[in-house]
Chains A and B, each alone.
Chain A
Amino acid sequence: MSDNILVLGVGNVLLADEGAGVRAVEQLQHRYAFPRQVELIDGGTMGLDLLGYLDGKTHLFIVDAICSTQPPGSVVIEKLLDPPAYFRQKISPHQIGLSELLAVAAMQDCLPPSITLFGIVPRDLSTGIEMSPEVNVAVGQVVLAVVKELGLMGVEVGAASR
């Protein structure tokens, strides 16, 4: 079976750097052409609405702003070898966001076996649609990193036709 990859950008584009994940997906869609096995989704700040998009996926790339002690604009790429570790935090059972989405997917046996986080450390989370300069640069780096990762998996990514 060939790989089926979901590139899921999440975040709120009205809160400056919080929307970095969504901006990265927009840039990917704008600059490249992907084969059918790659699906790109702007997930915004949705949770359970996204469950259906995980069906049949072998790989999930999550692009999101992350909390980190590293300086703003840093890019953190890591395979989530034990995704449930993310769910172990004591969270309210009443609100559903990304970590709950993945937990529910695990319960429903539709969690993609391979999950990679492309994290961007934000600087500015205030209201506004412009990202800070360093996060802008980081988004560009993540776009290239996603394309490179797909290339390593043997997925051919072309330039967008204009």
Chain B
Amino acid sequence: MAKRIVVDPITRIEGHLRIDCEIDNGRVTKAWSSGQMWRGIELILQGRDPRDAWVFTQRICGVCTTVHAVASVRAVENALNLEVPLNAQYIRNMIISAHGIFDHIVHFYHLSALDWVDIVSALKGSPKGASALGQQLSPWPRNGEQEIKAVQEKLKGFVGSGQLGVFAGGYWGHPAMKLSPEVNLLAATHYFQALEYQRQINKVVAILGSKTPHIQNLAVGGVANPINPDSQSTLTIERLYHIKTLIDEIGDFIRNVYMVDVAAIGAFYSDWTQYGAGVTNYLSVPDLPLDTKGTAFALPGGYIGDGNVGSFKAITSFNDEGFKQGVKEGVKHSWYKGDWDRHPWEEETVPQHTEFQDNGKYSWVKSPTFNGKPAQVGPLANVLCMYAAGHGPTKLYTDGLLQKVSALAKTKVGISALHSTIGRHAARAVRCAVLHDSLLGQWQALMDNIGKGDYATFNQPVFPKGEQRGVGFHEAPRGVLSHWVVIQDGKIKNYQCVVPSTWNAGPRNSKDTPGPYEASLVGNPVADPEKPLEVLRTVHSFDPCLACAIHLLDPKSREIVTVRTTV
């Protein structure tokens, strides 16, 4: 008899993402992904000055503020055909790259590694054994026995005092946890080191973005960072060299720790290359523009249909008609009035809430489609597209990672293994290394351009009478983000954000085809329906981010993850 489990919520914040699974014979047979909160943020923007939109969109999501700011200014610039000075592109590109590196490291180590790494088991590991293993895997100098032992002592302190802190609530001792105590201990050590390095890279964002958690330096038409090589109060050469030091420091961590850990976990859990593929239409967009018009990019993007890398079709400019025309959103299974598929410029947002209807409406998230089909977005889509486009660093890091996994697993692991739950983690690590190369490249490009005597960072936007339409897209850490704006006489008439988690977490579409989360869960093993760790593994591999809005502190203890089982 099939059992139904409800994992609500999957993300920390109560009520945002609910996953329902039907489980039969230890496998997921059907899944529903439901966004449980309506945002309607777009409505706030109607009637406002398009130059201010990014300040508001930056607040849509708690985790990815920067990306909504970037997409918003690009949308307005696109509507106005406004060129962006080279320095401004480079500075934005550096912020984008640094933010992506930060986000990927935090996602792997702090938001999802504990689906695979058993912290309680790490207490039993021998620091000597963990150190020997670490040194065998990589030349990283911080795999010494002493440092590992110190981490273990720290963990023992938490467990001994009954305060697991961030480690509370994990599925420790779950039968699907397969790593040895030494591997767990080594990974736990890197968990702590990652906390230091994410801080380093975040400083780059803070310095360029004006020293606050929310960047303040953007403007429609460029950036607000005046460049003056001699002035103390602006972006000086000295500051730029400080940024370079920070960038250099994190490179070793990405290549010798993050990439290696992902390869090791991939090899130990190689069965997880069989699960979680789901929707294998992949969409990504090019990013890091290298000219003022957005027609040349450091990182390619495009579309791959049915997992066939050879079918790659590139998206080539900020004005790409194929992208502009290809995106639609549908509401057949979403809590909005009607049953339509519309282009974002033509959408309306009229809520119509019902109960959770398995075959009807069951989510606040709409169903986006690209040329009529659901598409998976995120680092895996991005890496596959960049690989297909022949992007050098992507090929280098992907092939290197797959070779490492093959050596550890003692079997040939090819690129097709990436269409999976564990493959999404591998792709994210590859993308992180690629972004690090890009960050260095953009830094050099900025220095060279300043060296030529070009200090321009801003072009004044002019709003003509009448209507203009624009789209701003950005390959964000979680995938394709697009903002769609309609401007009428200098004011916002319509505004829609099609966010990465909408692509991935969307419900069934108007043809009843499941979205990527839903499709990827079908076939997943579930050893214990009361503790659906395997469901979390697959959903977390997408880096879910519907936790976009609420931040309410509850002084009373309460259970946040509830698993309800119904027969």
CA of A18 to CA of B555, assembled, Å: 16
CA of A23 to CA of B495, assembled, Å: 25
A72 on interface, CB distance cutoff 8 Å: no
Q: How far is the CB of A84 from chain B (nearest CB, A)?
A: 5
Contact flags B37-66 to A (C-beta < 8 A → 1, else 0) = 011110110000000000010011111010
Q: How far is the CB of A107 from chain B (nearest CB, A)?
A: 6
The residue from A62, A66, A107 contacting B552, defined by CB atoms under 8 A apart: A66
Pairwise interchain contact A103-B166, C-beta atoms closer than 8 A: yes
Q: A14, A94, A106: which has the most chain B beta carbons within 10 Å?
A: A94
Q: How far is the CB of B477 from chain A (nearest CB, A)?
A: 13
Chain B residues whose C-beta falls within 8 Å of the C-beta of A45 in the assembled complex: 59, 61-63, 548-551
Contact flags B188-229 to A (C-beta < 8 A → 1, else 0) = 000010010011001100100000111000000000000000
Given contacts A45-B549, A52-B199, A66-B554, whether A92 and B44 have CB atoms under 8 Å apart is no
Given contacts A52-B202, A94-B12, whether A47 and B552 have CB atoms under 8 Å apart is no
Pairwise interchain contact B168-A47, C-beta atoms closer than 8 A: no
Binds B, one of A124-132, A136-144, A146-154: A124-132
CA of A52 to CA of B166, assembled, Å: 18
CA of A110 to CA of B421, assembled, Å: 35
Binds A, one of B104-112, B332-340, B467-475: B104-112
Pairwise interchain contact B559-A92, C-beta atoms closer than 8 A: no
Chain B residues whose C-beta falls within 8 Å of the C-beta of A43 in the assembled complex: 213
CB nearest to A66 among chain B residues: B553
Chain B residues whose C-beta falls within 8 Å of the C-beta of A107 in the assembled complex: 154, 158, 165-166, 192, 195
Chain A residues whose C-beta falls within 8 Å of the C-beta of B214 in the assembled complex: 42, 44
Q: How far is the CB of A119 from chain B (nearest CB, A)?
A: 7
B510 on interface, CB distance cutoff 8 Å: no
Pairwise interchain contact B11-A95, C-beta atoms closer than 8 A: yes
A3 on interface, CB distance cutoff 8 Å: no
A87 on interface, CB distance cutoff 8 Å: yes
Pairwise interchain contact A90-B169, C-beta atoms closer than 8 A: yes
Pairwise interchain contact A97-B13, C-beta atoms closer than 8 A: yes
B2 on interface, CB distance cutoff 8 Å: no
CA of A100 to CA of B386, assembled, Å: 35
Given contacts A14-B41, A51-B199, A91-B560, whether A46 and B165 have CB atoms under 8 Å apart is no
Chain A residues whose C-beta falls within 8 Å of the C-beta of B206 in the assembled complex: 52
Pairwise interchain contact A87-B549, C-beta atoms closer than 8 A: no
CA of A154 to CA of B132, assembled, Å: 53
Chain B residues whose C-beta falls within 8 Å of the C-beta of A125 in the assembled complex: 550, 552
Chain B residues whose C-beta falls within 8 Å of the C-beta of A92 in the assembled complex: 10-12, 169, 560-561
Contact flags A79-108 to B (C-beta < 8 A → 1, else 0) = 000001111111111111111100110111
The residue from B102, B170, B550 contacting A93, defined by CB atoms under 8 A apart: B170
Pairwise interchain contact A89-B558, C-beta atoms closer than 8 A: yes
**Chain B at the A interface: mostly helix, strand, loop or mixed?**
loop
Q: How far is the CB of B6 from chain A (nearest CB, A)?
A: 15
Contact flags B86-107 to A (C-beta < 8 A → 1, else 0) = 0000000000000000100010
Pairwise interchain contact A47-B63, C-beta atoms closer than 8 A: yes
Pairwise interchain contact B555-A48, C-beta atoms closer than 8 A: no
The residue from B536, B548, B552 contacting A67, defined by CB atoms under 8 A apart: B552
CA of A60 to CA of B167, assembled, Å: 23
B431 on interface, CB distance cutoff 8 Å: no
Pairwise interchain contact A96-B110, C-beta atoms closer than 8 A: yes
Pairwise interchain contact B553-A64, C-beta atoms closer than 8 A: yes
Pairwise interchain contact B59-A93, C-beta atoms closer than 8 A: no
Pairwise interchain contact A127-B165, C-beta atoms closer than 8 A: no
A5 on interface, CB distance cutoff 8 Å: no
B547 on interface, CB distance cutoff 8 Å: yes
Pairwise interchain contact B555-A66, C-beta atoms closer than 8 A: yes
Pairwise interchain contact A41-B212, C-beta atoms closer than 8 A: yes
A77 on interface, CB distance cutoff 8 Å: no
CA of A43 to CA of B59, assembled, Å: 11
Pairwise interchain contact B44-A128, C-beta atoms closer than 8 A: yes
Pairwise interchain contact B553-A94, C-beta atoms closer than 8 A: no
Contact flags B9-38 to A (C-beta < 8 A → 1, else 0) = 011110000000000000000000000001
CA of A108 to CA of B12, assembled, Å: 22
Chain A residues whose C-beta falls within 8 Å of the C-beta of B43 in the assembled complex: 127
Pairwise interchain contact A95-B12, C-beta atoms closer than 8 A: yes
CA of A11 to CA of B425, assembled, Å: 30
Pairwise interchain contact B163-A90, C-beta atoms closer than 8 A: no
The residue from A10, A64, A85, A88 contacting B168, defined by CB atoms under 8 A apart: A88
CB nearest to B196 among chain A residues: A108
Q: Across chains A and B, which 6 residue pairs bring their CB atoms closest together, nearest first? A: A45-B62, A95-B12, A103-B165, A45-B551, A67-B554, A89-B557
- Interface, chain A (partner B; CB < 8 A): 10-15, 18, 41-53, 62, 64-68, 84-100, 103-104, 106-108, 117, 119, 122, 125, 127-129
Enumerate 16 A-B pairs (CB-CB under 8 Å) in ascending A order.
A13-B59, A44-B62, A45-B61, A51-B199, A65-B552, A87-B168, A89-B558, A91-B560, A94-B112, A94-B114, A97-B13, A107-B195, A108-B195, A122-B552, A125-B550, A127-B44
Q: A18-B552, A44-B62 given. 5 additional CB < 8 A pairs?
A: A41-B212, A45-B59, A51-B199, A107-B195, A128-B44
- Interface, chain B (partner A; CB < 8 A): 10-13, 38-41, 43-44, 56, 59-63, 65, 102, 106, 110-112, 114-115, 154, 158, 163, 165-170, 192, 195, 198-199, 202-203, 206, 212-214, 536, 540, 547-561
